[in-house]
Amino acid sequence: MYPPDTPLARRLAQAGAVWPESPVGPVPLPLHLGDPAAELRAARTGVGLLDWSARGRLLLRGRDAFKWLGGLVTQAVADLADGAARYAFALNRQGRILSDLHCVRLGDAMLIDLPSDRLAEAKAHFDKYLIAEDVTISPADGTARLCLVGPGAEELAAQVGGASVRSIVESAGGLPGACDLLADADAIAAAWDALLSRGARPIGSQAVDALRVRAGVAWFGVDFDSTNLPAETGQLGRAVSFTKGCYIGQEVVARMKALGAPARVIAGVTVAAQAVPPRGAAVSAGGQPAGCLTTVAADDGGLAGLAMLNRRQASPGTAVEVTWPGGCATGCVVALPTAAS
């Protein structure tokens, strides 16, 4: 269903949520809730609030669950403390990304949070490598999740957290200064209301994209996808451990690290245009195709974005041209992160 029928659907509608024509990215989000600029200010100076509930979730249990999962993902997860989380990739044997994952330790279980459209394929992938291990994989139905972003996020999350609402310090969205709240679906509306009463402001994807661009946080399903290798995503620092044990696809990841030169990379781009170019707008440099825009955001009176570019054309300072049906603009490649978000 779209817009997603989460436990907070009615509250988002009452808040004036404006949705894109179709969902984009790792979680369906409204474009805005009436005032994107004010939402961005709230996320930078106070607390912005996102409904992160329309995601797929799996729950792993069993004596071998943590060690077994470690052999299938790019991050070290077996040593996670209760309530701690890490972002990771699940790869195929060719080293390409099947899905990104957010792995959260919940006592003797591991919650895997991932894009809902990758749930079935990820579950089939995991099942293929489950042989004789003591591991059970089940849907984590009846759970919901919020993301809080901003300088007051952790403090506010601590005020609302409790027996039925757990605070997760590392946010699944990877935004600087963000944390998440995980709760039973029937408790999430009360948590949302409590956050609003304490000053949090619901925000949409336009504000989130501005935060992501500044911080250089690329998202699966938006800026990269299952055709990409981890080295092309710009997310190696948070998604890949180079000191953990073996995992599916590790040989390719290690080889790319040794070579240090992926064919494509995520880069920052500023764009001099009156109209916002669409996602997928072509980027060229020196008259040669260079790649495409993957995210574009309005920020501080200008436009900035993320782009998947050929490595040789992705050096900061490179002049580029951005073209799309009915429009064109000049731009420049910039280093990431572009500034503190």
Q: What is the pLDDT of residues 85-106, one digit of tens each?
A: 999 999 999 999 999 999 999 9
- Do the domain assignments include residue 44? yes
Cis ω before 337 (30° cut-off from 0): yes
Cβ neighbours of residue 108 under 8 Å, at least 6 residues apart? 61
Cβ neighbours of residue 81 under 8 Å, at least 6 residues apart? 105
Cα–Cα nearest to 195, from 49, 52, 51, 17: 49
When pLDDT is cut at 50, 70 and 90, the band that residue 176 belongs to is confident
* Cα angle 315, 317, 322; round to 5: 90
pLDDT in tens, 9-34: 999 999 999 999 998 888 999 999 99
pLDDT in tens, 120-153: 999 999 999 999 999 999 999 899 999 999 999 9
Contact by Cβ (8 Å): 314, 193: no
Contact by Cβ (8 Å): 152, 125: no
- Domain total in the chain: 1
At residue 52, what are phi and psi to the nearest 5 degrees? -105, 20
When pLDDT is averaged across residues 61-76 and rounded to a whole number, the result is 97
Q: Are strands 109-114 and 97-106 parallel, antiparallel or unpaired?
A: antiparallel
261 or 122, higher pLDDT: 122
pLDDT at position 340 is: 58
Q: Write out the E strands in the chain.
A: 48-51, 56-61, 85-91, 97-106, 109-114, 136-139, 143-149, 165-168, 178-184, 201-202, 264-272, 282-285, 288-299, 302-310, 319-324, 327-334
Contact by Cβ (8 Å): 215, 235: no
When pLDDT is averaged across residues 40-53 and rounded to a whole number, the result is 97
- Do the domain assignments include residue 92? yes
Give me the chain's average pLDDT, please. Answer: 94
- Do the domain assignments include residue 292? no
pLDDT at position 141 is: 87
Distance CA 258, CA 167 (A): 37
pTM: 0.94
Distance CA 102, CA 109 (A): 14
pLDDT at position 341 is: 56
Instruction: Report percent pLDDT > 70 for the chain.
Output: 99
CATH of the domain at 168: 3.30.1360.120
Name the residue with tokens 């984009």.
24
- Do the domain assignments include residue 326? no
**Least reliable range by pLDDT among 102-116, 157-171, 258-272:** 157-171
Q: Are strands 48-51 and 201-202 parallel, antiparallel or unpaired?
A: parallel
CA 47 to chain CA centroid, nearest Å: 18
Contact by Cβ (8 Å): 268, 336: yes
When pLDDT is cut at 50, 70 and 90, the band that residue 301 belongs to is confident
Q: How many residues does the chain have?
A: 341
Cα–Cα nearest to 187, from 147, 138, 140, 146: 146
- Do the domain assignments include residue 301? no
Cα–Cα nearest to 282, from 290, 273, 270: 290
- Do the domain assignments include residue 333? no
Task: Name the residue range of residue 233's domain.
Answer: 1-263
- Do the domain assignments include residue 297? no
pLDDT at position 288 is: 97
When pLDDT is cut at 50, 70 and 90, the band that residue 338 belongs to is confident
Name the residue with tokens 């992705």.
314
What is the end-to-end Cα distance of the chain in Å, rounded? 32
Contact by Cβ (8 Å): 147, 173: yes
pLDDT in tens, 222-257: 999 999 999 999 999 999 999 998 999 999 999 998
Cβ neighbours of residue 293 under 8 Å, at least 6 residues apart? 269, 271, 277, 278, 279, 280, 281, 283, 305, 306, 307, 322
At residue 120, what are phi and psi to the nearest 5 degrees? -65, -45
pLDDT at position 325 is: 95
When pLDDT is cut at 50, 70 and 90, the band that residue 261 belongs to is confident
When pLDDT is cut at 50, 70 and 90, the band that residue 161 belongs to is confident
- Do the domain assignments include residue 96? yes
